[in-house]
Structure 1
Amino acid sequence: DSEELDPLLRLRLAEKAVRSAALAVRAAPSDYEPWLWLARTQASLGLWEQGERCLERAKELAPTGQRLELFEPEKGPAG
């Protein structure tokens, strides 16, 4: 559970996730998924403006009708 992680470790992991997502965007700049993950990882660090810009780019690149959100909706209980 991420709530049990040391706050400094959690920050370092989030920063590494942003760097990894940025590399993925550079490798596939016309693919919406890396842009979406970059947006989400930036938001996890509180980089809201950057996250929103990346989300908008992901929406521009996504297939028509594809709904993209900064955060995934929570899943309810199975059953």
Structure 2
Amino acid sequence: MILGDMGAEVIKIKPPWGEVARLYASFYGGMSSVFLFLDRSKKGMTFNLKMHKAVEIAKALTEKRDIIVENFKRGTMDKL
């Protein structure tokens, strides 16, 4: 969030089933204000990382980035 606010291009890869933050109350224009706050300054893409082609695309995107932040449990990235 901070990097995006400072002008960095931030791409958030999201699961196809969505995120919990979209469900939090206090809606503005039909969208959760919590989601709008947390995802500001970010671009978003939806990938099902259980599909081989999606993993290939995600890896291609990460090869061209300076920083990668992930929140998987330990060992998940190694399995991809």
TM-score (norm 2): 0.30
Structure number having the greater helix percentage: 1
Greater relative contact order structure (CA < 8 Å, 6+ sep): 2
In the superposition, the TM-score normalised over structure 1's length comes to 0.30
